[in-house]
Amino acid sequence: MQTDSSFTFVLFGGTGDLSMRKILPALYEAHRAGMLAASGKIVAVARHEEDRAGYLQWVNEHVKAHVAKSGIDENAWAGFVDRIEYVKLDLGKAEDFVKLRDALQDHAGTRVFYLATGPSLFVPICHALASVGLNENARIVLEKPLGYDLRSSNAINDAVGEIFAEEQIYRIDHYLGKEPVQNLLALRFGNALFEPLWRREWVESIQITIAEELGVEARGDFYDNTGALRDMVQNHLLQLLSIVAMEPPHSMDSDSVRDEKLRVLRALKPIDPRDISKVAVRGQYHAGVIRGTSVPAYATESGVKTDSATETFVALKVEIENWRWAGVPFFLRTGKRLADRVAEIVVNFRAVPHSALGASALRAGANRLVIRLQPNETIRLYCLAKKPGEGMNLSSVHLDLAFDQFFKEGQMEAYQRLLLDVINGRLALFVRRDEQEAAWKWVEPILNEWAASGKPKPYAAGTWGPAAASAMLAQHGTCWLEEEN
C-alpha cells in the first residue's frame, strides 16, 4: 500500500505526546516498509525547539523509544529523519503562517495538515491556514475530542467546514484502523458462514468493552472536564458498535461504508431520561490495588477536583431499532483502573432450542465469537465438543485466529494504516460529520441527566467496576466476559 504520489505531511503539535508516541513512529514504520513516496516530506510545527537540529535531537531522544516491535533499522531511521523539516511557529502570530507557507512553497504533491493539538486550537489553525491560502487542495486531520457536546461539536465543524470541504476533512478514530476491526468486516462480508447468523434470530447479545488499567496519569485537568462518556463512548465505542451492526455495504468505498454506519447510529433507540438509571451505569474509581501495586483514588489525582462527579467508568445497555437487531441488547463498557487492559467485542449466540445432550448445551455463552482488539489481536470462536472418554460430556473448545502466528508478515499499526489512508485520500475509515452528530445526539440525554444528578457509583481500582454494571447484564441472563487470556 505505497502512497500514490508525492506529499507533504505537516504535523501541528510536533513535540506533543501524540506525535511522540503514535504519529511519528507510524510514519517511520511506513517509511521503513517502503510505503511512502520517496519525495514525501514531513514538516513538524511546534514552538518549543529553535531550529531543525534541535527538533531532530528531540526526535532521536523521544520518538525512537516508541517505535513498534520491529525496532530501529538505523539505515531506515536515517532516511526517515532526512524527510523531516521543522518550522517554529507561534499560533498567535500571523507572520509565522506566512513563514510556514514559504517553507511549503517548493514542496509538490498532496498537503496533509495533522492537528495533533487541543480542540480549542482547531479553528484558529484552520483560519490561519486559510489566511495564507494553505487550505486549497489540502487535507486536514482532526483528533478527538471534537467538541464537548453536540453544540460545541457543531460549532467546530461549522467553522472548519467554512474553510475545508467535507471531503478534505479526516476525523480520526484510531480504533477503526485496528487490524481486528478490519477483519471483522472480512469475517462478516467475505464468508457465507457468518452473515446468515449475524441477526436477531441467532444472536442473543453483544458486548463491547474497552478497559484500561491506567488512571488519568498526567491528564487530570483534561479528564475531569471530559469523563469516560465523552472520551470513549461517544466516539470509540459507538463507532465499533456501528461496524458490528451495519448492513453489508454495496462496496467498500468511503461513502458506502459510512452510509451504513450512519444508519445504525440513527437507529439507536433514544434513551428516555426517566430510564437512564436502568440502562446506564457510571462509576468513579477509589483507591485499590492493580497487579500488586497500590493506586490512588481518582479524586486525589493531580488536576482533579476533590469533590469531582466525573465518571471514570460507563456501562450501557443499547438497543437498535431496525429489522436485523430488534430485541438484541448491546452492552457497552469502558473504564479506567480496571482489572485488566483489554478491548474486545463478544458476540453471544443463542442456545440450541432443544438439547438431547444435556443441560450444558443450553447454557448461555456456549457459542460465542470473541474479537480481541488489544492487547493481543485475535479472533476466537467458541463451541461445545465432547470430552474424551465415556459418556456424552460436553466441554467448551475454541478455534483461534491469532494474526501474528497465521500471517508471517508484520501487522500494520492502526495509526500507520490511517495515515497512509489520509495521504492517499481514502476516507472510509474516518468519521463523517453526520455520523458524529448522530452519536452526540444519542449521548446528550445521558450527559444532561448525569450533570443534574448525584455522584458516580464507587468502585475499587483493580476491579471490573461497580456491581451495578454486572447486575444490569444479570437481568438479561448473561454476564460480562472477563476470564479470557
Active site residues: 236
Contact assessment for residue 52 and residue 86, using Cβ atoms and an 8 Å cutoff: yes
The Cα–Cα gap between 91 and 95 comes to 9
CA angle 146, 149, 153 (to 5 degrees): 40
Q: Enter the C-alpha cell of residue 116.
A: 495533533
**What are 171's strand-pairing partners?**
142, 431
Q: Which of 112, 90, 98 is nearest to 41 (CA)?
A: 112
Which amino acid would we find at residue 264?
V
Contact assessment for residue 71 and residue 62, using Cβ atoms and an 8 Å cutoff: no
Centre a 10 Å sphere on the Cβ of residue 182 and count the other Cβ atoms it contains: 16
Q: What are phi and psi of 260, to 5 degrees?
A: -70, -40
| Packing angle, helices 414-424 and 24-32, rounded to 10 | 80
The Cα–Cα gap between 435 and 264 comes to 9
Those residues whose C-beta lies under 8 Å from the C-beta of residue 352, and which sit 6 or more positions away, are 361, 362
Contact assessment for residue 171 and residue 431, using Cβ atoms and an 8 Å cutoff: yes
DSSP 4: S
The Cα–Cα gap between 40 and 125 comes to 23
Q: Are strands 394-402 and 169-171 parallel, antiparallel or unpaired?
A: unpaired
Contact assessment for residue 337 and residue 461, using Cβ atoms and an 8 Å cutoff: yes
The Cα–Cα gap between 454 and 447 comes to 12
Those residues whose C-beta lies under 8 Å from the C-beta of residue 99, and which sit 6 or more positions away, are 87, 89
**What are 10's strand-pairing partners?**
43, 113
Q: Which of 364, 359, 339, 337 is nearest to 349 (CA)?
A: 364
The Cα–Cα gap between 182 and 184 comes to 5
Contact assessment for residue 259 and residue 249, using Cβ atoms and an 8 Å cutoff: yes
**Dihedral sign computed on CA atoms, order 187, 192, 198, 202:** negative
Classify 217 in phi/psi space as left (phi over 0), alpha (psi -120 to 50) or beta.
left
**Dihedral sign computed on CA atoms, order 251, 403, 410, 419:** positive
